[in-house]
Structure 1
Amino acid sequence: MSKQDDIVLVTRQENELVLSRFDEAVAFEIGAAIRGRALNEGLSLVVDLRTWDRQLFFSATPGTSADNAEWVRRKINSVRRFQRASYRLVLERGEAPFPTQSGADPADFVIAGGGFPIRVTGAGIIGCLTISGLPGRKDHGVAVDALCDFLGKVRADYALAEATN
């Protein structure tokens, strides 16, 4: 797939992986599933689910550090400000820091995959599901897989192809 194809697919993910509601129970179910996957597959990652004003779920698996929580914070800020998946920012802009004139200080914002907007039917984007610990494309994929599973959608229909570097 080309970068443009990936942008189209990530935009589709954002528009179709929409929740009917988002509350503490939903956050726990999605977050616990991600944590379970991480433990089963030996993935070192941090997962955070939140509305813009409050964290509803947080978990760190073995092998993570305070740095992962810091990456999560910066990814959340980027998703909130730009209203899109942080991996779409990577595809659209590259991974270089935001330019100074943007006002998006690298201490608080990052262009890296793993932040996915939580969109609720009738309300729009109200929060974020964020993963840190794997390469950005894979962090993004873990978030998308979890939303597909929760919504009963086929993962393969929304999965990005393996990156070829």
Structure 2
Amino acid sequence: MDAQVDMLLAQESKLQFSSFSFEDGVSVGLDLLDRARLDKLPVVVDVFAYGQQLFHAALPRSQADNGEWVARKRRTVLRFSHSSLYMGTYCKSIGMELDQKYYLPPCTYASQGGGFPILLRDGGVIGVVTVSGLAEEDDHALVVAALEAHLTKQQ
């Protein structure tokens, strides 16, 4: 499990922006939406930055609960400045759950994958990109792929 924790931290270290605009938020959201549509994935996609929602879409076969999962994953990322998958994996690696370790209500915070921090190289976390509707590792992988593609385009 420590190898996965290290891999997740490496992703966060690698996927950092020199700047992130409202337009970047919409672009990342649209990329996620296109990827999900291509594979007919039943997901909710959300991009939140600068204290507000920049992009939100729900695809066919997603559920209203997916929106609640998005909010819970986002709160986790904003509180800890790490991906929601990292937080769940880290807690499991020490034999605990997020609510046990940090005394947080599971109805408010989620440590399942799918929430990833929008990190500025010199400024920390300014937002969260979140997907909900698939297995947690797949939610996480979809977000990571979109962020990698966006950062590649920026170079």
Q: 1:92 and 1:62 mapped to 2: Cα distance?
A: 33
Question: Following the alignment from structure 2 to structure 1, what is the Cα–Cα distance between the partners of residues 30 and 67?
Answer: 17
Equivalent residue letter for 1:128: V
Distance 1:90 1:17 in 2: 19
Cα distance in 2 between the residues matched to 1:5 and 1:121: 24
Q: Find the residue that maps to 2:105 and give its secondary structure.
A: coil
What residue is the counterpart of 1:6 in the other structure? Answer: 4
Q: Which residue of 2 aligns with 1:163?
A: none
Normalising to structure 1: TM-score of the pair?
Answer: 0.85
Q: What secondary structure is seen at the aligned counterpart in 1 of 2:16? A: coil
Distance 1:76 1:7 in 2: 19
Moved beyond 2 Å, runs of 4+? 94-97
- Give the count of matched residue pairs: 150
Q: Percent identity?
A: 33
Alignment of 1:65-144 (within 5 A): 65-94=63-92, 96=97, 98-99=99-100, 102-144=102-144
> Secondary structure, in 3 states, of the residue corresponding to 1:106?
coil
Alpha carbons 1:52, 1:128 under 8 Å: kept: no
1:83–1:125 Cα contact (<8 Å) kept:
yes
Q: Once the 2 structures are TM-superposed, how far is the Cα of residue 4 of structure 1 from its aligned partner? A: 1.5
RMSD over equivalenced CA pairs, Å: 1.6
Match of residue 55 from structure 1:
53
> Gapped runs of 5+ residues in structure 1?
154-165
Match of 1:24 among 22, 25, 29: 22
TM-score (norm 2): 0.91
Which 5+ residue runs of structure 2 have no aligned equivalent?
Answer: none
